[in-house]
């Protein structure tokens, strides 16, 4: 079984500041890891994913995440926040192989202050 | 680009009614999913289907059923709606080789 813990249900940053959203996972097999973003009144969009290979993954809108196996973490970062980054962010894990199901964290709401 | 369409953005029903939520995808995806999203709980999987007429229970299937008669369409059924089923419902689809899920915009369902 797999699980995801997102530390902090609400993160607030100033425009131009570093964004750091934390995600820790547990999985009995090598995981596939995902970050999704949800803007108000919309569905979820994929930001980035890690499957195999390079542990630093770059996504859309300037976001990136690093898979750290020793820490079972997959934290999301962006060097400089923009007002348009305000949204809810979800980390998700899928066990590698034939398991089709994603397990989501509870989400982190990002607020960007002018 | 993949499009997942949910038939209603907002829906209001009464307790005890049978409710149908419809989802259609246009990319010939094998896998389809229904989630519910509640504040502070994230997304929880209700049911998923990996082929026509195939279905598997997710984490919270109680009070729900599903139907997949055609590959592109996946329906969620609330047999007898209750107030605790008031929620945002999200449909998604994927293909096994893609490893990502494509989401619809959601249906906000209120049960009065």
Give the integer Cα–Cα distance in Å for B112 and B109: 10
Confidence band for A86, pLDDT divided at 50, 70 and 90: very high
> Pick the residue with more confidence: A108 or B101?
A108
What local confidence, expressed as pLDDT, does residue A24 receive? 96
Given B9, B41, B106, which is nearest A106 (Cβ)?
B41
Return the minimum-mean-pLDDT range out of A43-47, B84-88, B95-99: B95-99
Give the integer Cα–Cα distance in Å for A75 and A68: 9
Q: CA-nearest residue of chain A to B3?
A: A43
Average pLDDT taken over every residue of chain B: 93
Name the helix (H) or strand (E) containing B65.
Answer: strand B64-70
Give per-residue pLDDT as tens, B27-51: 899 999 999 999 889 999 999 999 9
Q: CA-nearest residue of chain B to A100?
A: B96
The average pLDDT across A40-45 equals: 89
Name every chain B residue with its beta carbon within 8 A of the beta carbon of A102. 45, 101
Average pLDDT taken over every residue of chain A: 91
Shortest Cα–Cα distance, A14 to chain B (Å): 24
CB B81 within 8 A of CB B15: yes
């Amino acid at each position: 079984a797999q699980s995801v813990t997102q530390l902090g249900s609400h993160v607030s940053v100033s425009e131009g500041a570093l964004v750091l959203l934390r995600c820790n996972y547990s999985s009995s097999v090598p995981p596939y890891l995902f970050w999704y973003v949800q803007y108000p009144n919309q569905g979820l969009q994929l930001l980035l994913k890690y499957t195999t290979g390079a542990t630093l993954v770059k996504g859309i809108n300037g976001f990136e995440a690093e898979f750290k196996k020793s820490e079972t973490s997959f934290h999301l970062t962006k060097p400089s926040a923009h007002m348009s980054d305000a949204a809810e962010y979800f980390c998700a894990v899928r066990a590698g192989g034939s398991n089709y199901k994603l397990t989501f964290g509870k989400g982190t709401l990002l607020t960007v202050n002018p | 680009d993949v499009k997942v369409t949910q038939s209603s953005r907002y829906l209001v029903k009464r307790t005890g009614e049978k409710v149908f939520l419809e989802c259609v995808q246009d990319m010939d995806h094998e896998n389809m999913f229904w989630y519910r999203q509640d504040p502070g709980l994230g997304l929880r999987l209700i049911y998923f289907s990996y082929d026509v007429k195939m279905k598997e229970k997710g984490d919270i299937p109680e009070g729900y059923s599903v139907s997949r008669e055609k590959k592109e369409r996946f329906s969620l059924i609330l047999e007898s709606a209750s107030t605790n089923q008031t929620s945002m419902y999200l449909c998604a689809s994927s293909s096994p080789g893609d490893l990502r899920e494509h989401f619809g915009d959601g249906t906000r369902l209120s049960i009065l």
